[in-house]
Chains A and B, each alone.
Chain A
């Protein structure tokens, strides 16, 4: 039922796309028809797969590294007051600087390879992950903390058995946001300077008026982002079964 509905939405979008091409009579170098894009997919399958694999590695590495960094920062922020005092303002100020503006500097420092793209992805997800995890760690329900206090919990055990698991749902929201924005970081990095990746392929195809290939790369990128998001979402739901019980009904409906 859900699959049928999604398929219909997809078919509807394709039809609308084709309809616009027919109506506006746009030339292929402005808006290629779906069939032309599909043909580009077939013709350039090898090229697309090669560049897509580069981008996937950049996104996933950035996601892993950024999440670990964010989680670690949140943990130290919540554990030590002095860290909070020094690091929190730095974090907030760092957000005032547009990450995209840093891309050329990262190229300069880390080169044209994958490192600079991974760094972009890390930078762009670091703050949402840190903020979400820190929030989760700060808002352990008071009742649990008091119960643990009467049980004479050691700080380490309290963190491990109550505060960390209690923060997981918030951390999961941060991770979902991170998964959604990490591809942006990687692709922006590729635009600024690279020799591989879907971002590079799009610029390259654009320069050579291969707009159908450019669209094919765009569709590939969107598919990768969606697949990544839904896998992470699915894994998080499986990992936190107790959290699902507390979700509102309408949220279940939308899945």
Chain B
């Protein structure tokens, strides 16, 4: 776990535009500290752009934004990012992929304490026996588990996830949602998804994004701790509502 308590994050985007298409204008979103915020939207609603803006992957010419953290420290360097693809490097084995951050920052990936922690995390995600395997030998679900371990290895208080489970089959997806809920709670989490059930199982606050420039809906706040059981009646009722909101939205 991170030493410091995870901060809340308030992002304000004055303007985010590609070429002549304006995605966000005067947009504001608050991520509550140590909670999971879910963002749902149809394809092209700008949800990935928002996440990339938060990860500071967009150039200033594309995006003008202001990020404030509740602990008044900058967000830069305190973010772990997990994309839709697992982004494992095929020439490194699973363990070396998990320690990639250390390799890229200061080549400290071979220190015993780093390798020990990575091995422990691989155990946590159920890949204890695959540390030496090449990513190409793993199934989709296992690769995504390795990506979760790599994200946890970064040990950042804020975690951004962009549809991390969308390429998986339904059962594997439920498994990995449980895993993520168990391992990522107590961090400030922004999860982008197009699966209403996933948002309702994991999210403490769920927003939908629609229109251009994009607007944020009122948040839904399902009761009970994550991961909520998929068959919960409360969830099913909320899922119907979310689906309604999404199908009414303009992509």
Taking Cβ atoms with an 8 Å cutoff, the residues of A that contact B are: 143-144, 146-154, 157-158, 161-162, 165, 240-243, 245-246
Contact = CB atoms under 8 A, between A and B. Distances in A.
A147 B136 contact: no
Interface string B148-172: 0000001000000000000000000
B91 interface: yes
Contact of A157 (B52, B105, B136): B105
B57 interface: yes
Interface string B95-115: 000001101111100000000
Q: What is the predominant secondary structure among interface residues of chain A facing chain B? A: helix
A114 B56 CA distance: 55
Contacts of B77: 152
B126 interface: no
Contact of A158 (B56, B87, B90, B104): B104
Contacts of A146: 52, 55, 57, 81, 83
Contacts of A154: 104-106
B190 interface: no
Nearest to B136: A245
Interface residues of B, number: 24
Interface of B: 52, 55-57, 77, 79-81, 83, 85, 87, 89-91, 100-101, 103-107, 134, 136, 154
A241 to B, nearest CB: 8
Given A150-B57, A151-B154, A165-B89, A143 B101 contact: no
Contacts of A242: 90-91, 134, 136
A240 to B, nearest CB: 8
Given A146-B55, A242-B134, A151 B89 contact: no
A250 B81 CA distance: 37
Contacts of A245: 90, 136
Contacts of B100: 147, 151, 161
Contacts of B134: 241-242
